[in-house]
Amino acid sequence: MTASATDPGEVTRLLASLTDGERHAGDRLLELVYAQLRGIAGKQMAAERPGHTLGATALAHEAYLKLVGQEQTDWRSRAHFMRPSSPRISCTVAFSSHWYSQS
Protein backbone atom coordinates (compact mmCIF):
# COMPACT_ATOMS: atom_id res chain seq x y z
CA MET A 1 0.00 0.00 0.00
CA THR A 2 1.37 3.44 -0.85
CA ALA A 3 2.05 6.16 1.68
CA SER A 4 -0.67 8.29 0.16
CA ALA A 5 -3.24 5.58 0.84
CA THR A 6 -2.12 5.04 4.43
CA ASP A 7 -1.41 8.68 5.31
CA PRO A 8 -3.54 11.18 3.38
CA GLY A 9 -1.94 14.06 5.26
CA GLU A 10 1.50 13.38 3.79
CA VAL A 11 0.81 15.47 0.68
CA THR A 12 -0.32 18.37 2.86
CA ARG A 13 2.83 18.09 5.01
CA LEU A 14 5.03 17.98 1.90
CA LEU A 15 3.28 21.03 0.47
CA ALA A 16 3.93 22.88 3.74
CA SER A 17 7.59 21.85 3.53
CA LEU A 18 7.79 23.20 -0.02
CA THR A 19 6.19 26.46 1.09
CA ASP A 20 8.84 26.67 3.83
CA GLY A 21 11.55 26.36 1.19
CA GLU A 22 12.43 22.68 1.59
CA ARG A 23 12.90 21.84 -2.09
CA HIS A 24 13.71 18.16 -1.40
CA ALA A 25 10.05 17.64 -0.46
CA GLY A 26 9.21 18.01 -4.14
CA ASP A 27 10.65 14.60 -5.04
CA ARG A 28 8.35 12.78 -2.64
CA LEU A 29 5.42 15.00 -3.58
CA LEU A 30 5.84 14.07 -7.25
CA GLU A 31 5.68 10.38 -6.34
CA LEU A 32 2.38 10.92 -4.54
CA VAL A 33 0.57 13.12 -7.09
CA TYR A 34 2.04 11.97 -10.41
CA ALA A 35 -0.56 9.30 -11.21
CA GLN A 36 -3.40 11.78 -10.71
CA LEU A 37 -1.69 14.43 -12.87
CA ARG A 38 -1.00 11.82 -15.56
CA GLY A 39 -4.67 10.76 -15.49
CA ILE A 40 -5.87 14.35 -15.95
CA ALA A 41 -3.42 14.85 -18.81
CA GLY A 42 -4.44 11.57 -20.44
CA LYS A 43 -8.12 12.53 -20.43
CA GLN A 44 -7.37 15.89 -21.99
CA MET A 45 -5.08 14.39 -24.63
CA ALA A 46 -7.78 11.89 -25.60
CA ALA A 47 -9.81 14.83 -26.94
CA GLU A 48 -6.92 16.21 -29.00
CA ARG A 49 -6.06 15.57 -32.63
CA PRO A 50 -4.07 12.44 -33.43
CA GLY A 51 -0.33 12.99 -33.67
CA HIS A 52 -0.27 15.83 -31.17
CA THR A 53 3.32 16.72 -30.31
CA LEU A 54 2.70 16.53 -26.58
CA GLY A 55 1.91 13.39 -24.64
CA ALA A 56 0.24 12.86 -21.29
CA THR A 57 3.57 12.22 -19.57
CA ALA A 58 5.05 15.51 -20.79
CA LEU A 59 1.90 17.37 -19.77
CA ALA A 60 1.91 15.84 -16.30
CA HIS A 61 5.53 16.88 -15.81
CA GLU A 62 4.87 20.39 -17.13
CA ALA A 63 1.86 20.85 -14.85
CA TYR A 64 3.81 19.62 -11.82
CA LEU A 65 6.73 21.94 -12.52
CA LYS A 66 4.40 24.91 -12.95
CA LEU A 67 2.53 24.10 -9.74
CA VAL A 68 5.58 23.66 -7.51
CA GLY A 69 7.45 26.50 -9.19
CA GLN A 70 4.94 29.17 -8.27
CA GLU A 71 6.21 31.90 -6.00
CA GLN A 72 4.32 32.78 -2.84
CA THR A 73 1.81 29.95 -2.95
CA ASP A 74 0.61 28.67 0.39
CA TRP A 75 -0.75 25.25 -0.51
CA ARG A 76 -3.25 24.16 2.13
CA SER A 77 -4.05 20.60 1.01
CA ARG A 78 -3.79 18.04 -1.75
CA ALA A 79 -7.09 19.28 -3.22
CA HIS A 80 -5.85 22.88 -3.17
CA PHE A 81 -2.72 21.76 -5.03
CA MET A 82 -4.52 19.57 -7.58
CA ARG A 83 -7.40 21.97 -8.36
CA PRO A 84 -5.40 24.21 -10.74
CA SER A 85 -3.70 21.29 -12.49
CA SER A 86 -6.47 20.67 -15.04
CA PRO A 87 -6.62 24.29 -16.24
CA ARG A 88 -2.81 24.41 -16.43
CA ILE A 89 -2.74 21.27 -18.54
CA SER A 90 -5.49 22.69 -20.78
CA CYS A 91 -3.53 25.91 -21.26
CA THR A 92 -0.39 23.99 -22.17
CA VAL A 93 -2.29 21.90 -24.72
CA ALA A 94 -3.98 24.99 -26.18
CA PHE A 95 -0.69 26.89 -26.42
CA SER A 96 1.01 23.92 -28.04
CA SER A 97 -1.85 23.47 -30.52
CA HIS A 98 -1.83 27.16 -31.40
CA TRP A 99 1.94 27.22 -31.82
CA TYR A 100 1.85 24.03 -33.91
CA SER A 101 -0.86 25.42 -36.21
CA GLN A 102 1.17 28.62 -36.75
CA SER A 103 4.28 26.78 -37.96
Q: Where are the domains of the chain?
A: 7-102
The answer, yes or no, to whether residue 70 has pLDDT greater than 80, is no
Q: How many CA atoms lie within 13 A of 74 on its CB side?
A: 0
Model confidence pLDDT, tens digit, residues 20-44 = 888 888 889 988 899 889 998 888 8
| Alpha-carbon dihedral sign for residues 46, 47, 48, 49 | positive
Q: Confidence band (pLDDT; 50, 70, 90) for 101?
A: low
C-alpha–C-alpha distance, residues 86 and 41, integer Å = 8
Judge if pTM exceeds 0.75: no
Q: Which of the pair, 82 or 49, is modelled with greater confidence? A: 82
> What pLDDT is recorded for position 13?
92
